Amino acid sequence: MATASQPAISRFPVPALSDLPADIRERIVAVQEKSGFIPNVFLALAHRPDEFRAFFAYHDALMDKPGNLSKAEREMIVVATSNANQCQYCVIAHGAILRIRAKNPLIADQVAVNYRKADITPRQKAMLDFAMRVAFEAYAVGDEAFATLAQHGFSEEDAWDIAAIAAFFGLSNRMANVMGMRPNDEFYTLGR
């Protein structure tokens, strides 16, 4: 996948597309056709087909489901918590997706560095406060945290969505850091 002069996209072996099980290859090809390139997370995780399938099933269950959180809001959660976890791949790749979803070229960098000062609504700041508590002190999340969300119009099901996105990308952040997963060059400028 990578030419000799390019840095590795993972410290683990990256399979050739042709060696992958058909379902995984098909998903990757579909993404490539839609995006114009293959995001490295697909190739890096394909080293472990069963984990790949579970990972993307989980991803889709959270990010593609209907619900009260807009697609841009879901990406805000990813970007804010991923920077707090210092995950290069997730901030850069999902920053691009956030810019596109929000149709706002500035928002991703703002949310990544300090969402409290970003051009987002008080409701969105409350959403990110909750997400950050899930990421860093989930043990203390209780009635009070749900009540604060409710004051901003979030239902209990919305709270689950926020928590699950923060928790799932916490998994993703940890794996990407351990793997040294490299963001594709394309992400840096998408949506700017």
Sites of contact with its own copies (CB under 8 A): 7, 11-12, 48, 50-51, 53-55, 57-58, 60-62, 65, 82-83, 85-88, 91-92, 95, 105-106, 109-110, 112-114, 116-119, 134-135, 138-142, 146, 156-157, 159-160, 163-164, 166-168, 170-171, 173-175, 177-180, 182, 185, 188-189, 192
Min dist CB 38 to its own copies, Å, is: 18
| Between 26 and 119, CB nearer to its own copies | 119
| Between 33 and 126, CB nearer to its own copies | 126
The tokens for 85 are 């976890």
Min dist CB 61 to its own copies, Å, is: 4
| Between 30 and 171, CB nearer to its own copies | 171
Min dist CB 56 to its own copies, Å, is: 8
Do residues 76 and 115 make contact, with C-beta atoms less than 8 angstroms apart?
A: yes
CA distance 162 to 149: 10
- SS in 3 state form for the chain? CCCCCCCCCCCCCCCCHHHCCHHHHHHHHHHHHHHCCCCHHHHHHCCCHHHHHHHHHHHHHHHCCCCCCCHHHHHHHHHHHHHHCCCHHHHHHHHHHHHHHHCCCCHHHHHHHHHHHCCCCHHHHHHHHHHHHHHHHHHHCCHHHHHHHHHCCCCHHHHHHHHHHHHHHHHHHHHHHHHCCCCCHHHHCCCC
| Between 33 and 122, CB nearer to its own copies | 122
Min dist CB 163 to its own copies, Å, is: 4
Do residues 140 and 51 make contact, with C-beta atoms less than 8 angstroms apart?
A: no
| Between 37 and 188, CB nearer to its own copies | 188
Min dist CB 25 to its own copies, Å, is: 18
| Between 26 and 51, CB nearer to its own copies | 51
Min dist CB 72 to its own copies, Å, is: 17
